Amino acid sequence: MPSDSWINLLDQTAEAVADALATFDRWGDGGDRPDQYLLDQIADTAVLEMLKPAGVSILSEESGFLQGENSELVIVDPVDGSTNASRRIPHYCTSLCVVDEQGPLVGLVLNLANGERFHAIRGGGAFLNNQPIGPTKCVQMSESIIGVAGPLPDDISPSQYRSFGAAALDLCSVAAGRLDGYIDPLAHHGVWDYAAGILICQEAGAVVGELQGRELIHSDHSLRLGPIAASTPELLSQLGVERQIDR
């Protein structure tokens, strides 16, 4: 499938989630699992209704791995930042990433609270609302603003830090120059949280790595890793990553 067709499919899928939640009013209700909200299940149903007819394999946080007819895999977090959504904090999104034999091919992140749309195609740059984006040129930790998922490690001392609660959007903020870097010091993210954001960062010109140097893209629903992104290699090193992950 051409890249433009993938973008169209991901757009339709993200919009289906937005439509499913447009009149939703049970934001605090729990789902079938202790770590799940009803909103996650509603969003996942919308995702599967759009992706299954395309014949792709799907790895969803909510429904696990579903084998398709095609070689491509779509990694999806129907709602990244579910707790934010449940509390009506306007920082949550749908994150979708198409992966082929070479790795991430197309990524799309739609902020469900304000409609901002980030996307990237491998080798084609990264965009916010179809306008090109790029990271800052920050090379000094002491001058940086860092996004963090969890407590800030004692050996990292940025100028300021933020904990927003939605990894996909936080990574997109690095790609767009809103944050200088991002770190998950707890290594507690599933691949659906960051796959699209990692591609968007790389295509924007930011650099990425993993807390222990592991490969970030995989299809293991149980595996948790620590994604890290930075505007420059120098800043990535100061976040504790000596080896960046290539495109």
Domain boundaries along the sequence of the chain: 3-132, 141-238
- pTM, two decimals, is 0.96
d(CA 172, CA 157): 22
For residues 131-141, average pLDDT:
98
Res 242 pLDDT > 70:
no
107-124 pLDDT per residue, tens: 999 999 999 999 999 999
Q: How confident is the model at residue 247 (pLDDT cuts 50, 70, 90)?
A: low
Residue position matching structure tokens 């051409």: 2
Note the pLDDT of residue 64: 96
Q: How confident is the model at residue 24 (pLDDT cuts 50, 70, 90)?
A: very high
d(CA 33, CA 11): 28
Res 62 pLDDT > 70:
yes
68-110 pLDDT per residue, tens: 998 899 999 999 999 999 999 999 999 999 999 999 999 999 9
How far is C-alpha 188 from the geometric centre of its chain's CA atoms? 14
159-187 pLDDT per residue, tens: 999 999 999 999 999 999 999 999 999 99
Dihedral class, residue 191 (left if φ above 0, else alpha if ψ from -120 to 50, else beta): alpha
Name the token pair of 115.
């409609």
Q: Which CATH number fits the domain 3-132, given the four candidates 1.20.1280.50, 3.40.50.300, 3.40.50.10420, 3.30.540.10?
A: 3.30.540.10
Note the pLDDT of residue 127: 98
For residues 217-225, average pLDDT:
96
Question: Is the separation of the CB atoms in 208 and 200 below 8 Å?
Answer: no
Over pLDDT 70: what percentage of the chain?
98
Q: CA angle at residue 214 from 60 to 7, to 5 degrees?
A: 40
CATH 3.40.50.10190 fits 141-238, yes or no: no
Q: How confident is the model at residue 243 (pLDDT cuts 50, 70, 90)?
A: low
Q: How confident is the model at residue 215 (pLDDT cuts 50, 70, 90)?
A: very high
Note the pLDDT of residue 20: 97
d(CA 239, CA 211): 9
Please report the sign of the dihedral spanned by the C-alpha atoms of residue 143, residue 199, residue 216, residue 44: positive
Q: CA angle at residue 95 from 91 to 99, to 5 degrees?
A: 160
d(CA 129, CA 120): 11
Look at residues 118, 164, 131 and name the one whose alpha carbon lies nearest to residue 145: 164
Note the pLDDT of residue 52: 96
Higher pLDDT, 33 or 103: 103
The chain-wide mean pLDDT, for the chain, equals 95
Res 199 pLDDT > 90:
yes
Name the token pair of 64.
């696990």
Look at residues 198, 196, 228, 224 and name the one whose alpha carbon lies nearest to residue 14: 196
Task: Looking at mean pLDDT, say which of 154-158, 175-179, 237-241 comes out highest.
Answer: 175-179
Note the pLDDT of residue 32: 84
β-strands 73-80, 93-100: how paired? antiparallel
d(CA 169, CA 119): 11
Name the token pair of 114.
């304000």
d(CA 15, CA 232): 33
Note the pLDDT of residue 2: 83
